[in-house]
Amino acid sequence: MVREADKVVPNRRLTCERLRQGWSQQELAHLVGTGPDTVSRWERGLNFPHPSMCKKLCELFAKSPQELGLVKEDTAGDDRPTLTFPSLPQVYDPAIPLSQVGDEGLVGRAQLLADLKRRLCSGKNAALSALYGLPGVGKTAIAVELARDREILDYFRDGLLWVGLGINPNLLGLLGRWGTLLGLAPYEMETLTTVAALAKTLSSVIGTRRMLLVIDDAWRIEDALAFQVGGVNCAHLVTTRFPEIALQFAHDGSTVVHELSEDEGMSLLARLAPEVVASKPGEVRSLVGAVGGLPLALTLVGRYLWSHFYKDQPYRLSAALSTLQSIEELLRLTQPASASHTAMPAEAPLSSLQAVINMSDQHVAKQAQDTLRALSIFPSKPNSFPEEAALAVAHTPVETLDTLADAGLLEGSGAGRYTLHQTIADYARLQRTDTLVEERMVSFFTLFLATHATDYNALERETDNILAAFQIAYERKMSEQLLRGVVTFALYLEVRGHYSIAETQLVRARQAALDAADQAGLAFTLLHLGRIAERRGVLNQAEQLYSEGLTVARQSQLRTTLVDLLANLSEVVLNLGEYGRAEQYAQEGLDLARELGDQQRMCVLLKSLAEVIDCHGQFERGDELYREGLALAREIDDREMMCLYLQNIGAKASKRGKHEQAMPYYQEGLSLAREMRHRQRMSALLSNMGMVSTRMQHYAQAEAYCQESLSLARTIGHSVRMGNALQNLGIIERERGNFAQAEAYFQESLDLAREMGHRWLTSETLCEYGEYYLAQNKVEDAFTAFAEAHAIARGFGGQELVARALYGLARIALLKKDFVAARQQAQESLA
């Protein structure tokens, strides 16, 4: 629509002077270096010459600006003539789409809109801005809201022009429509037969007006530039799927439009289908994740759910939610094309998410299409994958990745990495037919694991991709590759505390080993399944798995695996309180490791044997073994074993009351554990540091250490570490006099210890419970706790705990004035 601000007055003075000279409009135009249509607009009062052109006219006619009608008198009191432009109609383009959100505004776009308004209204010459992003991310919707924003309309007082380009725009026709809105006569436009000529004329018509020009859905930079016709007071906004177009058009004024967050996606669906979100929040949230927060997809989902919501017929909503679990159905959801995209005419077929993505897909060559389908084998955003993996899996040159990135189908995700949005990945995956892609995926990551086995940072980056390769290998019964990959990856998963993932993969690998009669693979999977069970505190299951693995290793003479099984079996039976067997396994393993000359395994077995010797109460011999083991660990730079030795040596120093000597050991160990991101070891060291701080009466620091330890233990599901941290927190609160909180911690620790069958932890926690009761003068409760602790410790030969329990019982006997029993128990505790 065109609204007149003031009446247009023809410039009769200029017309008269031209006719007096006998010149046509074309001749005058030639003399001053412009077009006849421009002269026509000057004379009709539709436009006013630029100051430089005014100077040429005055020189040509030898007339003053006043005599040529190029000035008007200022009625504000200043009687000096000034150059001015005639007042022209304000233009508000009827092609601007209707807002789909009304007064509520767009969800999750407030900051982006504010930034864009600030840039567009900055007053800078020819302000250029561009929005780019995935198909369906809402670029057009943002532009629509800007075009209907009151602040924008007030600032761009001369109007707003809108053009929707699309794949094959009729540039002359679209520019001509702008010409009509700007007041060009049909006969003037008939002579303008090229895009360049028409664009130049529009630029002249706009002149110094302050207008916003929106160029929506540009697919070629040349198309966008054809509509860059605004003058010095105008601003231009381009929307495009293509990052390169945005950068070429607006340089530093280009802005990527991201998908909505999960919470923002829920908010959008709550607007579209509030009752559905209220009644089925979990199912709806999963749908937000399934479409990757893409606004178009969420809008389609919301409208679909709303259309299937009937209060009295809940089965219809359940059926609708079930339907949307299908990727094919999600991609086929439709809405009128004109409501989703201005580049599609209103009479076009219904638009679906699949159709919107297909437009970009069809825009690239077949090689790029095939590559997109191959890349869909990788897990989608937020996961990313390295360029070398993409090239190997898709079997394509790097230029093809550039093509997909330029088309907005493939996104960059840091140096040398890429990512695919969920909906684009789903679209491509449904069309993938090349089964060799799966084989290349498995082969690449099997080799990657072999060459990066100890590079935990690299393994962390590729975890989702590796697991995807494992899944393919499992489903396609690629047993050899699965077994090789899992054998390499298991230790990393264990160190990082991913026990559930590790267990799933190891169970599959064990079956693969059985199917292939691979005894080495079977022994290895049994070893690591035992380690996972042990970390979770299921000690009896761990012992069974280690024992099965030990049998396989002995039968097949797998000597290095046999050493590993002996070391782990020694530790688990030690925790079960069977000191004799623990020493036997540790000694056998150490002897075999020495025979093999395997320093790393010697290092492990020295630690295992030292722990058993300490439990027997032979502390000096234990010290010797620890010193030997730590020196060896440092020599071979085995950081995990260094952590273990530093932890145990620190613990021994602390038990002897040398708390200040213990802390440096713990701190060095913690630093190493943090470098490795070894969460189990971090938890253990933090718990011990908490106890040292408690002994030094630094309770706030002690609590901080132990709470971090507990948090890490809970995160990885390590029951023993949880029990230790809870016990230590109970001690801290007991020392502070917070008995209710202390009891809660002790009880949870004791419940965990009993559930695991961990006799050492059970006895130790009962001793702490006894101290808790004594601090409150609850003598009988204390007696019960110490007596049970004593019975359990004596049952597995835990001399240190036997002594602690006897010391508690001696003090109780003294309180009861049973001096004979007190003396006897005290003497036994010192024996």
Residues 445 and 494 in one domain: yes
Helix (H) or strand (E) holding 412: strand 411-412
Same domain, 566 and 487: yes
Whether 680 is covered by a domain: the verdict is yes
Instruction: Give the total number of structural domains in the chain.
Output: 7
pLDDT for position 346: 40
Same domain, 341 and 440: no
Segment 748-798, tens digit of pLDDT: 999 999 998 888 899 999 999 999 999 999 999 999 999 999 999 888 777
For the stretch 20-69, pLDDT in tens is 787 888 888 888 888 887 888 788 777 777 776 787 888 888 887 777 88
Of the chain, the percentage scoring pLDDT greater than 90 comes to 51
Distance, CA of 751 to CA of 648 (rounded, Å): 25
CA pair distance 394, 370, nearest whole angstrom? 8
Give, rounded to a whole angstrom, the gap between the first and last alpha carbons of the chain. 103
Please report whether residue 219 resides in a domain. yes
pLDDT of 347 strictly over 60: no
Q: Looking at the domain assignment, is residue 740 inside a domain?
A: yes
CATH assignment at residue 417: 1.10.10.10
Confidence of residue 509 (pLDDT cuts 50, 70, 90): very high
Residue 468 pLDDT more than 90?
Answer: yes
Assigned domain for 541 exists: yes
SS3 191: coil
For the cut 70, the answer to whether the pLDDT of residue 73 exceeds it is no
Residue in 793, 679, 682, 690 with CA at minimum distance from that of residue 733: 690
Give 314's pLDDT tier (boundaries 50, 70, 90). Answer: low
Q: Residue 772: which of 804, 819, 803, 738 has the closest Cα? A: 738
Report the length, in residues, of the chain.
831
Please say which residue of 638, 655, 678 terminates a domain. Answer: 638
CB atoms within 10 A of CB 828: 15
Asked if residue 357 is part of any domain, the answer here is no
The residues near 113 (Cβ < 8 Å, ≥ 6 apart) are 105, 106, 142, 145, 146, 149
Burial class of 498 by CB neighbour count within 10 A (0 to 12, 13 to 18, 19+): buried
234 and 140 co-located in one domain:
yes
Is there a single domain that holds both residue 206 and residue 323? no
pLDDT tens for each residue of 221-278 = 999 999 999 988 899 999 999 898 999 999 888 999 999 999 998 998 888 888 888 8
* Ordered DSSP codes for 320-384: HHHHTTSHHHHHH-EE-HHHH-TTS-TTSPPEEHHHHHHHHHHTS-HHHHHHHHHHTTS--TT--
In a domain, 358, yes or no: no
Confidence class of residue 86 from pLDDT cuts 50, 70 and 90? very low
Higher-scoring residue by pLDDT: 435, 227: 227
In a shared domain, residues 424 and 374? yes
In whole angstroms, how far apart are CA 262 and each of 105, 134, 215, 297, 828?
A: 18, 17, 30, 13, 64
Are 310 and 378 members of one domain?
Answer: no
Q: Say if CB 409 and CB 360 are below 8 A apart.
A: yes
pLDDT band of 538, cuts 50, 70, 90 = confident
Q: What token pair was written down for 262?
A: 């999960």
Asked if residue 744 belongs to a domain, the reply is: yes
Average pLDDT, integer, range 283-289 = 86
Half-sphere exposure for 586 (CA within 13 Å, toward CB): 23
Of 638, 668, 695, the one marking the end of a domain is 638
Q: Would you call the peptide bond into 97 cis, given omega within 30 degrees of 0 as the criterion?
A: no
Q: What is the CATH number of the domain that holds 762?
A: 1.25.40.10
Both tokens of 744, joined, read 């809660």
Same domain, 745 and 785: no
Mean pLDDT of the chain: 87
Q: Domain limits at 740?
A: 639-749
- More confident call, 263 vs 326: 263
- What is the DSSP annotation of 435-467? THHHHHHHHHHHHHHHHSTT-HHHHHHTHHHHH
Domain boundary among 240, 256, 272: 256
pLDDT in tens, 784-805: 999 999 999 888 777 889 999 9
Q: Is the pLDDT of residue 341 over 80?
A: no
Q: What is the CATH number of the domain that holds 123?
A: 3.40.50.300
Q: Are residues 80 and 95 in the same domain?
A: no
Q: Both 631 and 544 in a single domain?
A: yes
Segment 103-116 mean pLDDT: 89
Mark whether 463 and 606 lie in a shared domain: yes
The answer on 460 and 577 residing in a single domain is yes
Model confidence, pTM:
0.65
Two tokens at 204? 């002249």
pLDDT above 90 for 438 = yes
Kindly state whether residue 359 falls inside one of the protein's structural domains.
no
Question: Which residues, in sequence order, are bridge partners of residue 254?
Answer: 130
| pLDDT at residue number 754 | 92
Q: How far is CA 316 from CA 219, 287, 299, 415, in A?
A: 41, 17, 19, 47
Q: Which of the residue ranges 102-111, 179-188, 500-509 has the most confident prediction, judged by mean pLDDT?
A: 500-509
**Residue 673 in contact with residue 682, Cβ under 8 Å?**
yes
Q: How confident is the model at residue 6 (pLDDT cuts 50, 70, 90)?
A: very low
Q: Give the pLDDT confidence score for residue 287 in this predicted structure.
A: 85
Q: Are 131 and 120 in contact (CB under 8 A)?
A: no
